[in-house]
Amino acid sequence: MRVFISVDMEGTAGIVDWEQCRGPGTAYELGRALLIDELNAAIDGAIAGGATHLLVNDAHSTMCNHAPAALHGNASYLSGKHKPMYMMQGLDSSYDAILLVSYHGSMGTAGVLSHTYNPRAISEVRIDGVVAGESGINALVAAAYGVPVGLITGDQTVGPEAEPFCPGIEVVQVKTAVTRLAAQSLHPNEACERIRAGARRAVTQAGGLRAPRFAEPTTMEVDLLTADMADMAMWARGVQRAGARTARIVDADPLTVFRTFITVVALTRSIAE
């Protein structure tokens, strides 16, 4: 049983501030310690559910947030910020299940530290008319390779966003957002226990799940913060203008939609920061 884990950071119990997610600093070291415990809980649960091979893709910020030797289960660790497939780098059709650990809601939600790939450029993404956070966007890659998404962890916004794209997904809520910068979190021990149990169930039941599916062709609309950013998005092949600040991507291949979206993110980042 081969399990792919995409791990972000903002969805961790106890994390409510950007300083906990960006190093260096004391707050970041606290956030990193909270996250590695939740990640290892997911790994332990996956192994208990039958996983024999685990690949952890560090999907947060600079994407090198963990000490490789700290990962349980002799998990392989994919790190580094230049990844063509970004949060889903390393996934292929050989995997049996995907776990999304410490994810967050999309930019328009009241979730903790909510954003969609780049908060300085993207205000909303819709896939086939449904608002998509990073879980829904990343599900395009899961669909391309035919791998089910078995688990997502985070606050109360992540489950409802993932469920339209990831049928049968196990949802583990570890905190409740009060505002975008405040939350009531489970004790870290309780959060880890729930994640461990959820990951075990997800891997155990993976054979009965189906991979995400999208319309053919798939249509993605990306609302950007400024018209200049929408202009720049048009530089990417396959991107159409759908409004003053909206870019549209349409293709029969979900992987092409994802790759084009990542290109738009990379392009607009150059004038967003």
Question: What is the Cα–Cα distance from 80 to 95, expressed in whole angstroms?
Answer: 21
**Mean pLDDT across the chain:** 97
Question: What is the Cα–Cα distance from 193 to 170, expressed in whole angstroms?
Answer: 14
Q: How far is residue 177 from each of residues 99, 166, 190, measured CA to CA in Å? A: 22, 22, 17
- pLDDT at site 172: 98
Tens of pLDDT, residue by residue over 27-49, are: 999 999 999 999 999 999 999 99
Average pLDDT over every residue of 207-228: 97
- pLDDT at site 270: 82
Side chain identity at residue 55, one-letter code: L
Average pLDDT over every residue of 237-257: 97
Q: Is the whole-model pTM more than 0.75?
A: yes
The full set of domains in the chain, from first to last, is 2-115+134-208 (3.40.50.10780)
- pLDDT at site 87: 98
Strands 239-241 and 246-251: antiparallel
Question: What is the Cα–Cα distance from 151 to 137, expressed in whole angstroms?
Answer: 15
**Chain position carrying tokens 């109360």:** 156
Say if residue 88's pLDDT is above 80.
yes
Say if residue 273's pLDDT is above 80.
no
Say if residue 116's pLDDT is above 90.
yes
- pLDDT at site 3: 98
Task: Tell me the percentage of the chain whose pLDDT exceeds 90.
Answer: 97
Average pLDDT over every residue of 143-150: 98
CB distance 111 to 182 below 8 Å: no
pLDDT band at 272 (very low <50, low <70, confident <90, very high): low
